[in-house]
Chains A and B, each alone.
Chain A
Amino acid sequence: MSVVLESRALSKRYGRRQALTDCTLSIPAGRVAGLVGPNGAGKTTLLHLAVGLLAPTSGTIEVLGAPPPASPEQLARVGFVAQDTPTYAGLTVADHLKLGARMNPGWDAGLAQRRIASVALDPSQRAGKLSGGQRAQLALTLAIAKRPEYLILDEPVASLDPLARREFLQGLMEATAEHGVSVLISSHLVADLERVCDYLIVLTESRVQLTGDVDDLLASHRLLTGPRCDMAALPAEWHVISASHTDRQSTLLISTADPVGDTTWTVDQVSMEDLVLAYMSKAASTPGRNRTLEVQR
């Protein structure tokens, strides 16, 4: 299976602040990968390294087989929608399409026109007058009509209301399914990604906590509920990711390869949100660290 993004011990430091630490990833092609983590975890840093807006402090990263941004050809193969979906406020929607056509050899003008029409954007409107959702659609159109092999989106829906959010993600899925594009999309909200991702990367405190195929991850984790237990007495092959206890009851999220046979526990499938929250809180409960997690539905 080919790999779209491969990093080894990738690190980025801004002065004394470590923004990304020892990030080793290998994301297969053809996936919609979700990059989840709280604000400030290093998601934007990782994505900027992937599109070549930043250079690594140490370690290596390769996107589509080359360190970004090797050349105009490499740039043409990767589409990027930056955080807050920046556009030129003084330029019209039509100007932006012209910009895309002039600056990208593989520009698909028909696709761009169709997308603009389907999301009801007025070509003569200045981008500065668009709503957040419209601007995000314009930015996405620019990235998609470039006809990239790999589309990277940094919190594209963060500033959108729930309806615009759903429309944006729907448009994204339709476009990527149609053209067979690999996608890497970041969000601090699990709920945004739950519907669209089949590959997951959890990033907190500048480190990758969890990465893998969503189905595999869901299959290898269990949510157990049972009478209050002693943590030390649990089977050794259970890797407890998170545990919470009330006076009478314990809830555990464990990683295990085998089915749970012990009938004192009620065994449930984990959801992606359970999984992400468990790994985030695991990182947060590490001594000396403290970070508030943002979870919204």
Chain B
Amino acid sequence: MMWLTWRQFRTQAIIAAGGLALMAIILAVSGVHLANQFNASGIIGCQAHGHCEQVASNFLRTLRGSGYQVVFLIAAGLTYAVPGLIGVFWGAPLITREIEAGTIRLAWTQSVTRTHWLAAKVGLIGIAAMATAGLLSLMAGWFANPVYAATAKAGAGPSGLNRFEPAVFGVSGIVPIGYAAFGFALGLTFGVLIRRTLPAMAATLGVFAGIQVAWLQLIRPHLLTPLRSIVPLDIANINSLMTNPGGHEMVVTASVHKPGAWILTNQTIDAAGHPFTGPATNACLNGGIQACNASVGRLHLRQLITFQPASRFWTFQWYETAIFVVVAVVLAWFCYSRVSRRRLT
């Protein structure tokens, strides 16, 4: 059974392996250069000189708009796309193609039970799916390591890469493995339910993308209760200050310095703890920036921050991966029961 499964999957496996190899070469070559640049930047051992923030910021500034950024975007984009592509091109057609070509009647009347047949397919291709996503994430993570390290030391200055931020979290660590298992099982399930290749592929793509977005918006922030922190607003961190023409309203926002944390909300509140909405100070309506900032400082504003601390990164990775893998197993079990109850031909 393994032989037939492998024989049918061979071409797709070669395409995937080729893509991975190409990505590995690109990431290895540019990754070595990036690592050299990091070593030369003086970030290593900066503690002794006490200028970590400065050298790390300089390092990050040199990356802005560079080829490294492009390479990382490609690797990250691919890591995001691969679980969905696996669902659409490996999962959905796995059974529908055999139904459409009629070969399921050939396969299921050899001396191998249909459940054994399905188990071989799901086992081999499921593992290939998870391995592909895992390798991509591993390579992208290795490439981006110097950037993560510099970001952690650069303070509130130039924006680097925070692997806990939603855009990066999904391409770091082990979650891509969970997404790939889920994408594959979702495609398989739509194939079993719809039994036609193209509609199953379309449904897989749509639902997978929808679930990814909904997960990000609705579920991930609440996997663990966020921490709350109230800190005095430091006028040095103000990054925007707006007033309306009459001066009745004023909005002040300041940046947060929590290296590696995922900031969920950042609200400016007044001394009494209410959200600060104005009115504008006279200095801000009439004076210069410095006078304005100084007047804001006298308002004793504070920042109310809700966030997931950096220490929770791996907890989140494990939770999220486990949830997607469990859902994938449930879906695979559903397909298994449909197949064993002969609901397909």
A interface residues, how many (CB within 8 angstroms) = 36
Q: Which residues of A contact B7 (CB under 8 A)?
A: 91, 95, 98-99
Min CB distance B35 to A, Å, is 44
> Which of B87-95, B97-105, B180-188, B243-251 contacts the other chain?
B97-105
B106 near A102: Cβ-Cβ < 8 Å? no
A76 near B345: Cβ-Cβ < 8 Å? no
What band does the interface of chain B fall in when counting residues whose beta carbon is under 8 Å from A?
20 to 34
Q: Which residues of A contact B111 (CB under 8 A)?
A: 72-73, 75-76, 103-106, 146
Q: Which residues of B contact A84 (CB under 8 A)?
A: 102
Q: Which residues of B contact A102 (CB under 8 A)?
A: 1, 3-4
B113 near A71: Cβ-Cβ < 8 Å? yes
Min CB distance B108 to A, Å, is 6
> Which of A21-29, A46-54, A240-248, A251-259 contacts the other chain?
A46-54
Interchain CA distance A91-B7 in the complex, whole Å: 8
Q: Which residues of A contact B110 (CB under 8 A)?
A: 75, 99-100, 103-104, 146
B345 near A72: Cβ-Cβ < 8 Å? no
Min CB distance B280 to A, Å, is 70
Within 8 A of B (CB), among A40-85: 48, 51-55, 69, 71-73, 75-76, 78-80, 82-84
**Contacting residue for A99 out of B3, B113, B116, CB 8 A:** B3
Interchain CA distance A208-B105 in the complex, whole Å: 24
A139 near B113: Cβ-Cβ < 8 Å? no
Say if the beta carbon of B39 comes within 8 Å of chain A: no
Q: Which residues of A contact B345 (CB under 8 A)?
A: 48, 53-54
Interchain CA distance A236-B4 in the complex, whole Å: 62
Say if the beta carbon of B8 comes within 8 Å of chain A: yes
On A, residues with C-beta under 8 Å from B are 48, 51-55, 69, 71-73, 75-76, 78-80, 82-84, 86-91, 95, 98-100, 102-106, 139, 142, 146
Q: Which 6 A-B pairs have the closest CB atoms?
A: A86-B102, A82-B105, A76-B111, A103-B110, A80-B109, A104-B111
Q: List 22 A-B contacts (CB under 8 A).
A: A48-B345, A51-B109, A52-B108, A53-B105, A54-B345, A55-B341, A69-B113, A69-B114, A72-B112, A75-B111, A79-B109, A82-B109, A88-B101, A89-B101, A95-B7, A98-B7, A99-B3, A99-B7, A102-B3, A102-B4, A103-B111, A146-B111
